[in-house]
Amino acid sequence: PPTAATAIYRQGAQKPDGFPKRNPDCAIRQLATFGQRVRRIPAILWQTGRNWTAEYGELRQRMASQGMLPANMSYMFRTDAVMRDDVANMCPFALTSFDCVLAPAFKADLWRYCVLWKHGGIYLDMEDALVVPLEALMDPCDTLVLTNDLCWQPGHYFTSVALHGKQRCKWPSVQISFMAGAPGHPFFLCSLQKAMSMIRSRAYGKSTLSVTGPLKAGQCLSILHGKYRMEMQQVSAHHIDLYRGLAPPPGSRDFPHWPAIRTHNISSAKAKKKGSYRDLWKEHELYSSDRTCTAS
């Protein structure tokens, strides 16, 4: 597998994002190590869960021992209760929306946009595991690193036209289980604001992905960045692959690719339970009936 790569978008600062173009430090990026001043995305790993469990600890320890995480990585784990404190302190304008949406998974979407916008760093779902070193997924000069989600069309999913030349995706979708960015990146603020707009309107959209998650983030990617390089793709329910190359090799219909992230390693974390976000969305019970949430 390659030792260096960018993901869905290597940002060279195209307007209107407001970030500067690559500076001279980027010329020596191959000499930089994770967390040095030249790196724009700070070495902070953000994760959240209802409660800390031994399984989470074992998974993270295994990634660190296998060299998937840099030694100087700072870890920020947040329970559901602490997530609210973070939003109140870092993004108080989003607190009402956080309180008014009932699904913990959707609250977690708001939280991850908020902390990445405020402090930057890397977000990775607790049950997901890197199978390549984190440094292989981002360049020292990157300011935004995302993964393309499975494309959603009413009733079905498929992989992106950018990789396989199949049906074109009408609704760009970002897999928000892994995101990395520099502090203050407008992508995260845009995603937060779009999610807040859905909550204020008590809207449900076309699927569970439409409210706070992949489809909202996909809209922001399209708005802020008309051009980007596709190098990471959700290819199944359990794998995100890293793609390299601009065309398939001779005799092949597919691009060279390697597994990058294995998702849903802790099966109990995604167990379907009554009252899940899917149930709340399906039954149109996603929002609080509190007066502050129903006011126009």
Structure tokens at 285: 């019970």
169 vs 178: CA distance, rounded Å: 20
Task: Give yes or no for a cis peptide into 16 (omega within 30° of 0).
Answer: yes
70 vs 64: CA distance, rounded Å: 7
Structure tokens at 28: 């020596």
Average pLDDT, the chain: 75
**Cβ atoms within 10 Å, residue 67:** 13
7-64: per-residue pLDDT in tens? 334 343 333 333 433 444 454 443 334 444 446 899 999 999 877 777 778 888 888 8
235 vs 263: CA distance, rounded Å: 11
- Say which residues have a Cβ less than 8 Å from residue 170's Cβ, sequence separation at least 6: 153
170-181: per-residue pLDDT in tens? 567 888 999 999
Q: Poorest-confidence range of 105-109, 111-115, 142-146?
A: 142-146
Structure tokens at 39: 């790196």
* Model confidence, pTM: 0.80
182-217: per-residue pLDDT in tens? 999 999 999 999 999 999 999 998 888 899 999 899
109-136: per-residue pLDDT in tens? 999 999 999 999 999 998 888 888 888 8
CA 228 to the chain's CA centroid: 16
Using an 8 Å Cβ cutoff, are 240 and 263 in contact? yes
296 pLDDT exceeds 80? no
3-state secondary structure of 65: helix
